[in-house]
Structure 1
């Protein structure tokens, strides 16, 4: 284990005018008398826990997981801890029978301990709601024991209701049975769509004790095709559901309005206004089907973004909305989650849109979304990471911004044909560029003390990656050299300069946010300097780290 001791007297507070990691209200009262010395330790946990002789996939080893087995995370600060809840993604499905929304907590966003999730059996309201809808559609009930459940993508927020702080969680439960017969999807195709998904809600004032009160049904998948749930084959993706009720995100606006946004792989993302006290929709939703889009969306929510206005089946999901400096930023996941997953972001001055990308295109109307903030990538000396999306975006208690998501290893890593099923939680810092767009740092967050970076430290060799879109392919690093004479060669060219007051590195006409972070690919890991920024057209992120 490598340790570094940093004197805090050597640290400096950065102005961050060019690249900011702060919110609109950073901590106005920093500790006036910090400790004279503070020990900093680089994380040593292994990203691939299947080849070291210490396979920790099993449920009995959950206390050792740290950030292993994380998928679709959501993070909220409560009672001195950052709580993370996510889809349980144990390698080899060793979690079966032990609960489906994994919990963790941390005081530093680096080291995480396991805590219990909200429940371990499907809530009874799901079967009741499902069969009540089926009855009104003229369909037979599915026996409770025959319902096949899938558990996905919770979102958690700290809220105050009636003067009491609590955590509120929205969670997704998918029903893996056919609509027509009610048979499991593993049975023969019956000519119909799979059943709908449901979003429920629960609350807790004691997440450490895994004590949650379930509040039940919020919404479900909804269709604009009435009772016509037929399809020609399992490859027919023309779409019965218009909105898919999974992947919720939840935001409380500055005006105190509460909104739920959700959607995955169907027609786009919908927004529902919620009652602040109950957490349920303000308007009566009525039946989750209608004979046209207008009738459906008047009840089940306005569409605020879609990958293609002409496609009923599209590789976009997992909306996440945050507010900063006059804009609502909508992050979303593109493409399949195993390898090609990548994260995009757009923004709007209004919570319900329209949302525009960095190129000015209208994402609400179906334009492609830019910039790309994460993408499959590979630095040297490592297998690389793929499937990097479905993010949580949040601030810590000091006002710094963070991005959390899964990261998957490519298939075949360390000779494991199933390595792509290994998921690790990644937590990274977000910087905000001068143009107002966020960029995610290339290396995972470890809390490296923010000591001043000098011009001389930047001279030398770097690895640089531009995250241009390439479906299911990792973008690989190329060499960048910053020369003593102020010129750059390799991946970026032109003159370079460093502005210590804004902590920005300019190379040619590209401006990059820069900071200290850990080189996770080095062996042993060590502190280095990293950067992140956008290409001149603001469509693609540029990542780099110093290697010599």
Structure 2
């Protein structure tokens, strides 16, 4: 049986999915400021209780004024308070003018979905998908503590809100929950649903239906492994697969992965394809590239890159002579042509990921030692180049082939050894780190990636 609220949510759901599905605001953490009053959205006392009131208040930079904005697809967003952990909704499904805006535990219903309408002045109208009414400060009250409510859309400044992005790295991770155990994550969103793949038997994977915040497990992609793996990696035991990478290209989804053993260069990169992530009809495309004891690099940690001309490349490798890059055939998605060297570093370098933005290719790598719990020394570093084949220089102009690499994420007291990173577009970064508050278990971290005025990445 459905509750009254659930029934109303189902009845109103068509309204929630009728908007033009264009993402107006990137996933990330924001201060949300009213244009008329200049005050920001605030959760009373940062309480976790369902029904806690949402108000406006002068900016204090406290976490109860920080809101995680997550795109759900079909024009809908969830707005979650970082302190309370609940999603903004119209209280008790009230459709009247003046109805209160509060927080409630995320439930996936339309009353917690909001649609953003760009007003062309750096602000947005915030429309509830169930009621069709706009968020505003009640009665044009400019005082601290003034109530935030809904009202019939009128286009006035009291209903306009600016979304001001916060640094969202080590201090502002997305508030994730559910199944978070992770090594070497890769993620992709498809029609509002997020999918994550990671190191593990048969390629572990997870799914999120709320914009990448709450994760639940799915069956492994290859629960029985593939017979040809041991032709190239005879010492592999079981069906453990390393560091997958998932991306869409040319109307298909491509899933690269590596098979190897610790401390060995006897490795192979394989490839799967599917019509879509939702279809789950994975096809074995076989071997992509392999290395042997005679090789001077290691065929692991693959990452598919699409260049500015829509041509595919594969960046890969670790340790030995460092990070490599090769062109791919656009049909077979397998190597063709030369192997380029991009980065090298004593003490370990691996997990490359490349993204293109505003005339530059940005190479992210993990340096140091992985997989030692809170003794791990992983760090995420980067450089950039105007050419996909390099040279990649860090912020000090040092070539990454000569040990260069500016620090993006060195972790903190709780999150130790961040690495195994992957880019989702050029605005979101996923990676793992070891949780010092939970016996050093490796967990998934997701953050908005910001860019400074000179075009360098930062949290």
Q: What TM-score does the superposition give when structure 1 sets the normalisation length?
A: 0.51
Contact 1:105/1:114, CA 8 A, preserved across alignment: no
Choose the corresponding residue for 1:81, options 193, 209, 219. Answer: 193
Contact 1:117/1:210, CA 8 A, preserved across alignment: no
Alignment CA distance shift 1:389-1:2 (3 Å): farther
The alpha carbon displacement at 1:150 in A equals 3.6
Provide the residue aligned with 1:202 in structure 2.
272
Contact 2:232/2:290, CA 8 A, preserved across alignment: no
What is the rounded CA distance, in whole Å, between the counterparts of 2:53 and 2:249 in structure 1?
Answer: 38
Choose the corresponding residue for 1:304, options 342, 354, 357. Answer: 342
Contact 1:201/1:217, CA 8 A, preserved across alignment: yes
Alignment CA distance shift 1:242-1:209 (3 Å): same
Gaps of 5+ in 2: 1-47, 59-68, 70-74, 76-114, 119-124, 129-133, 136-148, 151-175
Over the aligned positions, Cα root-mean-square deviation in angstroms equals 3.2
Q: Write out per-residue CA displacement over residues 77-115 of structure 1, whole angstroms, 9 at most, x where no aligned residue.
A: 223322211113xxxxxxxxx634323334412122322
Provide the residue aligned with 2:288 in structure 1.
218
Question: What's the secondary structure of 1:123's corresponding residue?
Answer: coil
Contact 1:81/1:107, CA 8 A, preserved across alignment: yes
Contact 1:106/1:113, CA 8 A, preserved across alignment: no
What is the rounded CA distance, in whole Å, between the counterparts of 1:376 and 1:210 in structure 2?
Answer: 35
Alignment CA distance shift 1:334-1:107 (3 Å): same
Choose the corresponding residue for 2:303, options 249, 258, 279. Answer: 249
Compare 252-261 and 103-112 and name the one that shifted more. Answer: 103-112
What is the rounded CA distance, in whole Å, between the counterparts of 1:265 and 1:360 in structure 2?
Answer: 22
Contact 2:202/2:225, CA 8 A, preserved across alignment: no
What is the rounded CA distance, in whole Å, between the counterparts of 2:49 and 2:301 in structure 1?
Answer: 39
What is the rounded CA distance, in whole Å, between the counterparts of 1:67 and 1:272 in structure 2?
Answer: 35
Question: What aligned pairs does 1:218-367 form with structure 2 within 5 A after superposition?
Answer: 218-222=288-292, 229=293, 240-283=294-337, 298=338, 301-308=339-346, 314-337=347-370, 338=372, 339-364=376-401, 366-367=402-403
What is the rounded CA distance, in whole Å, between the counterparts of 2:264 and 2:238 in structure 1?
Answer: 11
What stretches of structure 1 move > 6 A for 4+ residues in a row? Answer: none
The alpha carbon displacement at 1:375 in A equals 1.0
Choose the corresponding residue for 1:174, options 260, 263, 270. Answer: 260
Q: Write out per-residue CA displacement over residues 243-302 of structure 1, whole angstroms, 9 at most, x where no aligned residue.
A: 11111111111201100000122211111100112111124xxxxxxxxxxxxxx5xx11
Which has the bigger relative contact order, CA under 8 A and spacing at least 6? Answer: 1
Alignment CA distance shift 1:2-1:208 (3 Å): farther
The alpha carbon displacement at 1:194 in A equals 4.0
What is the rounded CA distance, in whole Å, between the counterparts of 1:262 and 1:406 in structure 2?
Answer: 18
Query: Which of the pair is proportionally richer in strand?
Result: 2
What is the rounded CA distance, in whole Å, between the counterparts of 2:264 and 2:212 in structure 1?
Answer: 38
Q: Write out per-residue CA displacement over residues 199-235 of structure 1, whole angstroms, 9 at most, x where no aligned residue.
A: 001012243353311111000125xxxxxx5xxxxxx
Question: What's the secondary structure of 2:415's corresponding residue?
Answer: coil
Contact 2:232/2:267, CA 8 A, preserved across alignment: no
Matched residue pairs, number? 303
2:404 matched to 1:404? no
The alpha carbon displacement at 1:432 in A equals 0.5
The alpha carbon displacement at 1:159 in A equals 1.6
What is the rounded CA distance, in whole Å, between the counterparts of 1:171 and 1:67 in structure 2?
Answer: 21
Q: Write out per-residue CA displacement over residues 4-28 of structure 1, whole angstroms, 9 at most, x where no aligned residue.
A: 66589x9xxxxxxxxxx9xxxxx9x
2:245 matched to 1:155? yes
Question: What's the secondary structure of 1:108's corresponding residue?
Answer: coil
The alpha carbon displacement at 1:147 in A equals 5.3
Question: What's the secondary structure of 1:127's corresponding residue?
Answer: helix
